[in-house]
Every structure is written in structure tokens, then in C-alpha cells.
Amino acid sequence: MQGAVRALAATASVTLQAGSKVYKTAPVGPPQPDYLNACVLIDTQLSPEALLTVLLKIENCFGRIRRQRWGPRLLDLDLLLFDQQILATPTLQLPHPRMHERALYWCR
């Protein structure tokens, strides 16, 4: 996770503002170990779609392979909120549609 945060912070047009502590949550989906989670708050000039592309590239750089929905994964970077924007495209929904189901430990 630290490497992914460093990669995000090193991205042009992205400034890391704050980060949470790492916390553990139970998985959703097939049986698998608990997950370690964290959240970051960033400032960016990127569009939501461009930021999502950056997040997916970072996942790929760290070996993310998508095999099964909600299945085990090495890294999962989600875009939860983007200012006050509401967006629904085939590839991105804002706010994140299942954000209310998550145990979130906010950055501030």
C-alpha cells in the first residue's frame, strides 16, 4: 500500500493532502483473508476518468490481475468521492456505489 500511495503522490497533477492509518476489514465475496485498507485525500487537476486511469495503472504496476469479482487481490484502489460530483458512466460511478457499506476511517 505504501508503494501505491507513493506512486499516486508522484503522479503529475496529484498532490497528497492526508492519509489514514492502515486498518483491517473483513472481505466481501468468496472466502478469503481479511484486507488491509487505508484512504488518502488528494488534490488533483485530473478529471475523474483520468484519475481512475491512473489508479488502474498503479494497480497493474503492482501486479493486480482481475480474475473474479470481489475475489482475492493484491491491490485494489477505489475512487470513492471526487469533490461533490455525481457521475454514472459504464466505467465509473461517483460517489462510489458501495461506499456506504464500508468501514471507512477518514483521513481527517
Q: Residue 24: what are its φ and ψ, rounded to 5°?
A: -105, 140
What 3 state SS string does 93-107 have?
EECCCCHHHCCCCCC
Which strand (E) or helix (H) includes residue 2?
helix 2-9
What domains sit in the chain, N to C, each tagged with a CATH number? 2-101 (3.30.70.560)
The pLDDT score that the predictor gives to residue 96 is: 87
| Catalytic status, residue 34 | no
Q: How confident is the model at residue 108, as a pLDDT?
A: 47
Catalytic position from the list 6, 43, 66, 78: 78
Q: Which one is catalytic: 6, 64, 66, 108?
A: 64
Please give the pLDDT value at position 67. Answer: 74
pTM, entire model: 0.85
The yes-or-no answer on residue 64 being catalytic is yes
pLDDT in tens, the chain (108 residues): 999 999 999 999 999 999 988 888 888 778 888 888 889 999 999 999 999 999 999 998 888 877 767 666 778 898 999 999 999 999 999 998 877 666 655 554
Asked if 78 is an active-site residue, the reply is yes
